[in-house]
Structure 1
Amino acid sequence: MKENLLHFIWKLQLFTSKKLQSVTSENIHVVSAGLQNFNSGPDFFNSKIEINGQLWAGNVEIHVKSSDWYIHRHEIDENYDSVILHVVWEHDVEVFRKTNTVIPTLELKNFISKEVLQNYERLFSQNKKWINCENEIPVIDHFVIAHFLERLYIERLEQKSLKIHKFLQTTNNNWEAVLFLLLAQNFGLKINAEPFLNFAASFDFSIVRKVSSNALQLEALFLGQAGLLTKNSEASYFEVLKKEYEYLKVKFKLTPISSGQVQFFRLRPNNFPTIRLSQLASLYHLHQNLFSKLMEIQPIEIYYNLFDVGTSEFWKTHYTFATESKKSSKKITKSFVDLLLINTIIPLKFSYLKSMGKTDFSSLLQLLEDVKPEKNSIILKFDSLKIKSENAFKTQALLQLKNEYCSKQLCLQCEIGKNILKN
């Protein structure tokens, strides 16, 4: 028997009979199971229990055996003085209050059906399953899954907002500066995410504002701070950028990130840091007050139009300073904008709305439903289990489900797992 299963049964009151009795034959009626406590202290707070007709308000502690009370040293912890009911699987010893009165004990093994225990064993059986419920999830009611996925996505946004909150602290609550940090990180994609974030954090965002009207200086600032103008090159444009950067470096007392942080290896040419930084510079040259614009717009096509920018002229025929290539516009693609919406814009809008006390996030969910679904191994596996993803809202929620519940074996906190156990 696992203690977390007893917590689950108590929380949902999955008893075979409502006529409960303590080990000393006291009639027990659960008015309220209480609020589960995931920190130190009793397992359930603010419970309301009627014992032999007397209503008690207090806390409930749950153990596999009654003797666990003493093993955990609860008898010397004042946090447990307010326990009104001891819920156990097996009663093997009396537990006393400091007043020497016995704490009523409910022995659950007499009130739990075999089906609940069998469902639990089947769910947690270790037979190399990808997720515990992969045999059951294809037949779970669609409404149960759909409702839970919405909650999962809000959880995911809450997690992402923690990083945004930290950025706000380091930028003195400058939302425009936070947007720049997040965009830079995401323009770096997986390989250059950290170096691009380091580059963006290496100077004050006010400098971007000051030079944004000059496209050449802005590109020189970005490439220079990213450590891409340190090595010599025969390209004339390199010399032009380096000259501009040296001027900015002295004027604003800049220190670039160390050379070599930014990588070209294992990247497709269109994702080379030179191309992505030039696109980022073009974006900020074309759109001052970018944060304000992004917070105001809603239809996805307007986002695509806003990010419809390319590189400076030199990069249309180059990927690096070294060699010339066939001319191409190298504009930001819609699929890349989708990534920005998923990882930057929507989480930032969520945090911004929360900061203003707003709790209606339906517009954000609608926006994400207009974004194409992501493709990765996790989503493909859910697809094979008949959990289809029509849009990015569903793929993001499923990633949260797999990473934060399935992989951590938190089936008893998952609505799908609960549904399996209850049925």
Structure 2
Amino acid sequence: MKEDFLHYLWKFKKFDALNLKSVQGELITILKTGDYLELSGPDFFNAHIEIGNQKWAGNIEIHLKSSDWYLHNHEKDPAYKNVILHVVWENDTAIFRENNTEIPVLVLKDYVSKEIIENYNALFAPKTWISCERQLKEIDGFIFKNWQERLFFERLERKSKFVYQLLEETGQDWEAVLFCLLAKNFGLNTNGDSFLQISKAIPFSIIRKESFEAENLEALLFGVAGLLEAEKEDVYYKDLKFRYFYLLHKYQIEKTYIEPLQFFKLRPDNFPTIRLSQLGALYHKHQNLFSKIIELKSVDDVYRLLSVSASSYWQDHYQFDKESPKKSKTLSKSFIDLLIINTIIPLQFTYSNIIGESISENLIDFVNEVASEKNAIIDKFNSFGINSKTAFESQTLLELKNEYCERKACLKCAIGLELLKNN
């Protein structure tokens, strides 16, 4: 039994509300259950109830055991002075106010049906992966679709926090924010943090000035990344190293620690050398990239905009001094899809919120043009009959799994609430 189950019971009055009596023997009539704000302080604010013949307006506190009041030190917190009813599953001690009057107690388990408790226990019974995996397909399509939209925007809200953080760090420079976001996502999970450190170590004003020289951009990125510190005979390597130290001196760039870049277990096309070169090529090809990305309305437009390739040296190299069979190192469609999901859409969402423009429907249409991600979580949902064809669907399933299923937050999830009701 969890406390949030009691919150659910009280919020939706899932008990025999017509025959309530306090532990003290007085009749209780609920006029208003109160507002469930999930903030610090009592669980429900501004409730209206009748106890005996007296009307009360105030707050409701809910616990599994009444002794939890003292366990949580509520007697020392002034926020709990206005509690008019203590709702518990088990009453194991009396609770008193400062003036020594006893707070009325309602023992909820005396009024909850056996069926509701059985449904709750069934929902939270041990399963192999998530609590409702055997019941997911029973959910009404309309409810599931609406919940997916909510999950999608919850995910964007969480991602937007990082954008706001970057805005603070860059002095509200949207172009610099975009550069940091792109760098992080060019590095993927393995090198994302290191690439982000690289982007922050180079003032974006320098990227702007040097964007007309592709080799200078590559020299800056490789140098700050720590990839130009060895002695090599490779002519291109020597050229980049010379450019880097010239630019380092010219702009008085301070050296900062960058987490070492990882090559191990990466496919060659994802080597940091290739991704850094592609990132430099993108900023060589496009000035004012932020304004172009904000105006994007379709996936095809993104593919055209981000159609860049690593520099010519990397067409037959993956590492310095090691020649490989020639292969075009352009950004793949699947890689651009990841940039759409993790950079472009969160950026558009945050920017539209700041300027007060609603583009929710456009974003849903946009992400529905992108193919679903492929990973273990999506594969598992597919095995339960919840198929994911678009990035909108895969993003919502990832949010569902990570923010609800993993946290056992079934009673805050539309799917869990529907199953509890229908069972």
Match of 1:5 in 2: 5
Structure 1 CA distance for aligned equivalents of residues 2 and 13 of structure 2: 16
Deviation at 1:9, TM superposition (A): 0.6
**DSSP-derived class of the 1:31 partner:** strand
Identity of aligned residues (%): 51
1:201 lines up with 2:190 in the alignment: no
Q: Which whole-Å CA distance do the structure 2 matches of 1:67 and 1:321 have between them?
A: 68
SS of the aligned residue for 2:319 comes to coil
Partners of 2:419 and 2:344 in 1: CA distance: 36
Q: Which residue of 2 aligns with 1:145?
A: 144
Check if 1:329 corresponds to 2:337.
no
**Offset of residue 312 of structure 1:** 1.8
**Does residue 305 in structure 1 map to residue 265 in structure 2?**
no
- Is the CA contact (8 Å cut-off) linking 2:17 and 2:29 kept in structure 1? no
Aligned to 1:232: 231
Corresponding residue of 1:123? 123
Tell me the equivalent position of 2:42: 42
Provide, for residues 70-102 of structure 1, a one-character-per-residue CA deviation record: whole Å limited to 9, x for no partner: 444434432221112221223455444334444
- Map residues 80-91 of structure 1 onto 2, 5 A cutoff: 80-91=80-91
Alpha-carbon offset, residue 268 of structure 1 = 1.7
> What is the deviation of 1:370?
0.8
Answer with 165-174 or 233-242: which moved more. 233-242
Aligned mates of 1:259, 1:30 — CA distance in 2: 60
1:286 corresponds to = 285
| 2:318 match: secondary structure | coil
Separation in structure 2 between the aligned mates of residue 258 and residue 246 of structure 1, nearest angstrom: 17
The unaligned stretches of length 5 or more in structure 1 are none
Contact 1:226 1:256 in 2 (8 A): no
Shifted more, 173-182 versus 229-238: the winner is 229-238
> What corresponds to 1:111 in structure 2?
111
CA shift for structure 1 position 132:
1.0
Task: Assess if the C-alpha contact under 8 Å between 2:167 and 2:174 holds in 1.
Answer: yes
Equivalence for 2:62: 62
Say whether the 8 Å CA contact 2:198–2:258 is kept in structure 1. no
* Equivalent runs, 1:243-262 vs 2, <5 Å: 243-256=242-255, 261-262=260-261
> Over aligned residues, Cα RMSD in angstroms?
2.1
Gap change, CA 1:310 and 1:96, over 3 Å in 2: same
Q: What is the distance in 2 between the residues matched to 1:344 and 1:259?
A: 22
Output the CA distance in 1 between the equivalents of 2:269 and 2:95.
69
Unaligned 5+ segments in structure 2 are none
Q: TM-score, with normalisation over the residues of structure 1?
A: 0.93
Of 354-363 and 163-172, more deviation after overlay is shown by 354-363
* 2:216 corresponding residue in structure 1: 217
Please tell me whether the aligned partners of residues 226 and 257 of structure 1 are also in contact (alpha carbons under 8 angstroms). Answer: no
Residues 410 and 416 in structure 2, CA contact (< 8 A), matched pair in contact too: yes
**One-letter amino acid of the structure 1 residue matched with residue 397 of structure 2:** L
Q: Which residue of 1 aligns with 2:97?
A: 97
Residues 391-415 of structure 1 show CA distances to partners (whole Å, capped at 9, x for unaligned) of 1111111111111111111112111
**Structure-2 residue corresponding to 1:22:** 22
Contact 1:373 1:390 in 2 (8 A): yes
**In structure 1, the residue corresponding to 2:148 is in which secondary structure?**
helix
- Cα distance in 2, alignment partners of residues 387 and 4 from structure 1: 27
Q: What is the number of residues matched between the two proteins?
A: 422
TM-superposition CA deviations, 1:283-323 (whole Å, max 9, x none): 10111010111011111100000001112222222222212
Aligned equivalents of 2:247, 2:355: Cα separation in 1: 37
Match of 1:406 in 2: 405
C-alpha distance in 2 between matches for 1:72 and 1:312: 62
- 1:180 to 2:175 alignment: no
Residue 66 of structure 1: how far off its partner (Å): 3.4
- Mapped contact 2:66–2:90 kept (Cα < 8 A): yes
Contact 2:372–2:388, Cα closer than 8 Å, also in 1: yes
Given the superposition, is the C-alpha separation of residues 73 and 201 from structure 1 closer, same or farther in structure 2, using an over 3 Å criterion? closer
Counterpart contact for 1:140–1:416, Cα < 8 Å: yes
Distance in 2 (CA, whole Å) between partners of 1:93 and 1:369 is 55
TM-score of the pair, normalised by structure 2: 0.93
Contact in 2 for aligned 1:225/1:255 (Cα 8 Å): no
CA distance in 2 between partners of 1:331 and 1:109 (Å): 63
Q: Identify if the C-alpha distance between structure 1 residues 255 and 50 changes in structure 2 by more than 3 Å, giving closer, same or farther.
A: same
Kept in 2, the 8 Å contact 1:202–1:225? The answer is yes
State the AA in 2 paired with 1:415: A
C-alpha distance in structure 1 between counterparts of 2:233 and 2:76, whole Å: 77
Is the deviation greater in 385-394 or in 17-26? 17-26
Distance 1:336 1:72, change over 3 A: closer
SS in 2 for 1:62: strand
Deviates more, 1:275-284 or 1:76-85: 76-85
CA contact under 8 A between 1:227 and 1:257: conserved in structure 2?
A: no
Residue 82 to residue 213, structure 1, CA distance change in 2 (3 Å) = same
- Aligned equivalent of 2:133: 134
2:271 aligns to what?
272
Q: For the residues of structure 2 that align with 1:71 and 1:328, how far apart are their CA atoms?
A: 66
CA distance in 2, matches of 1:277, 1:93: 65
CA–CA separation in structure 2 for the residues paired with 1:190 and 1:6: 39
